[in-house]
Chain A
Amino acid sequence: MNGRLLKPAIIGAAASLLCSSPILAQNPPPQKRAEHVEITNGPGLEIAHDDLAIVRWTSSNPGGDDDHFAVIHYGTDPKSLNQTAKSHIRLNRGHPETIFRVRMLDLKPDTTYYYRVTSMGSGGESDGVESSVNHFTTAAPGQVTSAFPPPE
């Protein structure tokens, strides 16, 4: 067999295999972004340790990028929410609503924080929804606190 013919043959065979891959079907392009997104539940504190807190809320499914970020702007002064945390979540295309959860690290114990939440696609596009300012208080050293009743 002519080696110069053999190599293109192998490449061609490999290319045909790649073209028949199910990958393209598995990872479709981002879904259409919702025209209107609203928060349907929360936001509220899920749980607060002495140095870490998780805030959660539910919104209508914003669509767009499957990969999304829950974003929280927070601070100890309600007029200066000068810190930001964001947590990665994946949208579920079939779910009418999406639960967003965001964790804040390196907080001070027994301290009240004010916050406002929003969400955005992994590409940075805002979902166009933002909460009003809310607040939570971190736990005393070594303790844990959570909301009551628990947000859904």
Chain B
Amino acid sequence: MRRDTRTFLRTAFAMLLGVLSVPLVGAVEVRAQTPPPYNPYPSGILPANLDSEISRVRREVQTIFNRYFAEWQALTPTPTYSGNPPILVPNGYDAQRILGGLLNFDENISPFRDEACAFCHMPYTGFSGPIPSVNLTMVAYPGSYHYRAAKRTAQRYTYSHTFPVLNYNTTQDLFFGGNFWDGRATGMKLQAPDAEQAQGPPVDPLEMGSPDIACIAWKLSQAVYRPLFELVWGADFDINWPSNTEQVCSTPQGAFGSNTTPVALSAVDRTKATNIYDHWGQSLSFLERSNDISPFNSKFDWYLKGTAGVTLTADEMAGYKLFNGKGNCNSCHVDGRSTTLTPGETDTGNTASVEPLFTCHGFANEGLPLNPRISLFYESRPDGVGFTPNPDGLRYRDLGLGNFLRSGPQSFPDPNQPEWLPLAPTADGQMQVMTARDVALTPPQCPTTEAGTGKPYFQKEFFHNGYIKSLKQLVHFYNTRDSVPNPNGYKTYAYPVTSGHCPAGTVERVTCWPQPEVKNNIDMTTGALGLTDTEENQIVAFLETLTDGYNPANPTVSTYKNIDTFTGQCSTTTPGETASNQGNAYLIPTWNLAQFPCAADICDVPPLPTTPIP
């Protein structure tokens, strides 16, 4: 589309919003007219039930917002600052936590007041993606402006607060910390990566998409819970807002070109708005570290504590030993305990922590295949406001941390350039090592992530690109990605093909692993573990013990906060479906990579990847 056409579209859309907006009176809500849906997708990329599922999750979000609101109303006595230094007492923790909850579940933060942070992160999935059909198809979640969508799976909130500020350890010559799959929320400014992670989606054009961080301060100034925000933070909302603020903040990002501050504020007021946004992120960080999200009360925690009556089943215990031993999972998903390599070997180590985090806080490239279902690939033409989400189209490649270090597209600028720039080739393809905790957390009525168990299941998606659809597949991938021992020597399930093109006689994700999207820097700790089918299942059984909300007194009822809010449908196993081939009916063929090679703004930016990326 020509530039003047895009300008016309943006102007026309802004004028339309201006006509439809009305002046605010107090906390009266102004609903902006949404532009026509953006749907550049080939048939089948968007799930058929997307609209009804969006409505369903929105209702659930509103339910939880109301619960936090009720908690605030019931908070007595109201805390005040006291002492020197002044501390918010009593109930200071509750005040901060409840504020975080209200912020997380407030739909008004988005331009069309239709999407809260929690839309992509609901409690009943361990604060990852709540829509089974999205997890099965488009991978990323639709934004406030339907149907823009981002590029990766919605990462779980749980224990995200434990990641340190992104740092390059010069002893180990490796990166640790940060938030987001690519570590781009460094934590440099707020000293809490998850606080800076929270600040991303509200102004990510593909997610909530506000055009200016000042819009969040503007929305908070109108929020019913503003008094709580002021109580906790002493925030200064005395800002001289321009008369068109509501109009601007009801316009999705992209309509103002490269202008990231379309709300015209004085320098003093801009600072106030920025401080409010910083506090907004810090409150969300506190929520994430609270027991509402990261309570350290899984069955495994109770087991470690030695709680009477809490024992691991034979399969769970076998899985635990494999996790630490033959599976070598805890070399990266560090559990803070020692290890046993062979059955019967005694654990002679000390418990490093009573809160085993199951992550090393580092990064790894596990060599996942390109997933052609990711919605971002298809967002290469302008939307209703003239914004093109992904100009690279099918040439987009996800280099993860390496792309962030080059300040590449779909990421943040690297705040430590030029120092870290030369390290980019060593980080190409690397993604954050998430905690294994709560990987199996599902709603009570869908008690498993796995098809074929005889129980209704909740369809999740795993790893950064959602290529893996069950925990069985996840363990099988680690086990067999490169080679599989057999009596006649190693055989391989690795084929030089892309997803959707596995050879006849093989089954993708079972006996065929397509080539990695990024073949550089692949971690070789795993990939040929030699686990049997039973051993894979036992590791899955152990992973399920890491689900928070276990109540030793009543193991059948989860105590995880707000886990009861899922109102959708569980999945049921179809004939022939197992956890191994779960989701295979939704595989689609990848395009010819030679025809659409990696885009220049990703792969041709110095320092170049060590090996060219197809």
Contact = CB atoms under 8 A, between A and B. Distances in A.
A147 B451 CA distance: 36
A49 to B, nearest CB: 7
A150 B234 contact: no
Interface string B144-174: 0000000000000000001110000011111
Given A3-B236, A26-B353, A8 B85 contact: yes
Nearest to A22: B355
Contacts of A93: 338-339, 349
B485 A94 contact: no
B166 to A, nearest CB: 13
Contact of A67 (B170, B172, B330, B492): B172
Given A6-B86, A150-B490, A26 B192 contact: no
Contacts of B191: 14, 18
B340 interface: yes
Contacts of A26: 162, 334, 336, 352-353, 356-357, 359-361
Contacts of A146: 483, 489-492
A124 B286 CA distance: 38
A86 to B, nearest CB: 10
B339 A95 contact: yes
Chain B CB within 10 Å — which of A10, A26, A66, A122 has the most? A26
Contacts of B353: 22, 25-26
Nearest to B357: A26
B578 interface: no
A131 B200 CA distance: 49
Contact of B483 (A54, A65, A96): A54
A103 B164 CA distance: 31
Nearest to B162: A23
Given A65-B172, A90-B331, A149-B489, A96 B341 contact: yes
A90 B81 contact: no
A54 B481 CA distance: 12
Contacts of A87: 522-524
B525 A89 contact: yes
Interface in A63-108: 65-67, 70, 87-97, 100-103, 105-106
Interface in B79-115: 80-81, 84-88, 92
A75 to B, nearest CB: 18
Contacts of B88: 9, 13
Could you say which interface size class chain B belongs to? 35 or more
B521 interface: yes
A28 B334 CA distance: 11
A100 to B, nearest CB: 8
Contacts, number: 172
A30 interface: yes
B490 A95 contact: no
Contacts of B486: 150
A47 B484 CA distance: 9
Given A54-B482, A65-B172, A101-B524, A47 B490 contact: yes
A124 B523 contact: no
B167 to A, nearest CB: 11
B328 interface: yes
A34 interface: no
B556 interface: no
A109 B282 CA distance: 55
Contacts of B490: 46-47, 146-147, 150
A133 interface: no
A1 B234 contact: yes
A73 B289 CA distance: 46
A147 B525 contact: no
Contacts of A49: 492, 494, 496
A123 B172 contact: yes
A56 to B, nearest CB: 8
A122 B357 contact: no
A113 B233 CA distance: 65
A19 to B, nearest CB: 12
9 contacts: A3-B234, A14-B192, A26-B336, A27-B360, A29-B171, A30-B171, A87-B524, A92-B339, A149-B489
Report, nearest first, the 9 A-B pairs whose CB atoms are least far apart. Answer: A94-B339, A146-B490, A6-B234, A90-B331, A148-B489, A9-B86, A87-B524, A146-B489, A25-B353
Interface of A: 1-3, 5-10, 12-14, 17-18, 21-23, 25-30, 46-47, 49, 51, 54, 56, 65-67, 70, 87-97, 100-103, 105-106, 121-124, 144, 146-150
